[in-house]
Each structure stands twice: as structure tokens, then as C-alpha cells.
Amino acid sequence: MKGIRLLIFSTLLLASCQTLPAINSVLPQARLKSALCPSPFLKEPYRLVHAIEARSGGEIQGAIIGVTLVDPSTRFVSCAIMTAEGMVLFEAEAKPALKVIRALPPFDSGHFAKNMIEDIKLIFLAPEGVIQTKGILADGTGICRWQEKSGAWIDLIAGLPDGIEINKYSSSGNWQRRIKLNPTAENVYSRIELKAREAVNYSLTMTLIEAEPQEGELKTEKNKGSEE
């Protein structure tokens, strides 16, 4: 039992110490602009519906439906979480100010809405920050690294056997989020895996049900009126 506790503690310690990886081979400044980075992000307004499986502490916490509206031109985001029967548990939007429309327990807690909107932007929208470095990691995979205005770092890693990986780190370099996408699928968002480091770590597996392009710029008014 003591050995098991030690193993668990060591695993948690390693997870908490994940930091910004060193880039072994950095492209010279003159080549930064011409070198291409993979861009799995949305180029036009889209409505996406995913089945979401949430895990925490290694156990499945529940299965829900997520509906997301994203406009990359304005960075407008609207999202809703509902049961399979259609009951809306949570709804919020950001353009750019965050507005929570509905939040039932446990989705009314703490910084849930802010974190969810930031996760959606991390998945579907290209980084807003300045690209700092392009190069190759120790395992030979290519990497592009941005720094956001907040100081946070975003790494986009290509060439992995299981697809594209997006990692977010704090301004001090501590790992916060990992997102995996499969660019070989019919839709790059057909399966999304998200791992998050919070007070209680959690992971999400999102399976695409429906993806539909939207005409014109998404307006705040257009996304109101979810059924109660």
C-alpha cells in the first residue's frame, strides 16, 4: 500500500512539473516568416455539435452534448452544454466580454465559464499572440511557439503519430492544457482530446456529431433563444 501511495505521489509530482519543452533546432530569424506552421483552426464561422465524455480522477463523470458557435473573424464564441434529452445545463458567449446566460450546478462554480470559453478558443481559433519560435523538438517533431498578450505560451506540434497537439503553458512555463486533433480524419474536429490541469485535473473526449458552416458574421442576437 505504501508503494502504491508513493507511485501515485510521484506521478502527480511529475505531472505538476511539466514545463515548456526545449526546442533543440531553432529556425533562424530570417526563415521564421517563410516556414509554415500547421493550421487546424477554423477559417469561417461554424456550428459544431459534439458528444462529450468527461473524466476526473480516472473515472467517467458523465456524458453530455456540447454545441459550439465560433466566428474566427471576430473571435465570437457561443457555447451550450445540454443533456442527451435536450435540457440546457449551461450557456455562455463571449464577444469579447463574457456573458453567462444559464448555469445550473455544477456548471455554476468558480471560473468554469471563463475556462470553457478559453478552451474553445484554444481548440478552434488560431493564437492571437506573436509567433516566437519555429523548430524541432528532441523527438524530431516540428513545433511552432506563440506567446499571447497575457504572457501564456502556446505550442503547436505536428508530425505526431496520432495527429496534431496543442499545448498551453502559463507565462512562467507551467503546463495547463493539452489538445489532440486528428488531421487525417474527414473533419479535423471529428475527435478532440483535451487534458486540463486545474485544482482538480480533468480530461474531455469530444466526438463530432455535426458540423455546419454558418453564413455571414455571427451576431450575439443570432445565438440567443436556447430552449429552456
pLDDT for res 12 = 40
**Residue 39 resides in a domain:** no
Name which residue leads in pLDDT, 187 or 4: 187
- For all residues of the chain together, what is the average pLDDT? 85
Q: How far apart are CA 151 and CA 17, in angstroms?
A: 19
Q: CB of 103 within 8 A of CB of 113? A: yes
pLDDT for res 35 = 65
Burial of 83-106, coded b for 16+ CB within 10 Å and e otherwise, reads eeeeebbbbbbbbeeeebbebeee
pLDDT for res 30 = 56
**Residue 226 resides in a domain:** no
Domain count, the chain: 1
Q: How many Cβ atoms from other residues are within 10 Å of residue 37's Cβ?
A: 15
pLDDT of 224 over the 50 cut:
no
Instruction: State pLDDT tens for residues 5-58.
Output: 333 333 343 344 578 999 987 766 655 565 678 889 999 999 999 999 999 877
**Residue 8 resides in a domain:** no
Residue 79 — pLDDT band, cuts 50, 70, 90? Answer: very high
pLDDT for res 18 = 76
Single-letter residue type at 159: G
Q: CB of 48 within 8 A of CB of 211? A: yes
**Residue 27 resides in a domain:** no
Q: How far apart are CA 84 and CA 23, in angstroms?
A: 44
Taking residues 96-113, report their average pLDDT. Answer: 93
Taking residues 144-149, report their average pLDDT. Answer: 95
Q: How far apart are CA 193 and CA 50, in angstroms?
A: 12
DSSP state of 222: G
* 3 state SS of 5: helix
pTM value is 0.83
pLDDT for res 110 = 76
Phi, psi for 14 (deg, rounded to 5)? -65, -45
Expressed in angstroms, the distance from the first to the final Cα of the chain is 49
**Residue 82 resides in a domain:** yes
**Residue 15 resides in a domain:** no
Instruction: State pLDDT tens for residues 160-214.
Output: 777 899 999 999 999 999 999 987 778 999 999 999 998 788 999 999 999 999 9
Closest CA to 120 of 15, 37, 21, 47: 47
CATH code of the domain covering residue 137: 2.50.20
Name which residue leads in pLDDT, 99 or 14: 99
DSSP state of 211: E
Residue 219 — pLDDT band, cuts 50, 70, 90? Answer: low
Q: How far apart are CA 185 and CA 41, in angstroms?
A: 14
Collect all residues with Cβ–Cβ distance below 8 Å to 216 and sequence separation of at least 6. 45
pLDDT for res 14 = 39
**Residue 224 resides in a domain:** no
Q: What residues make up the domain containing 79?
A: 46-214
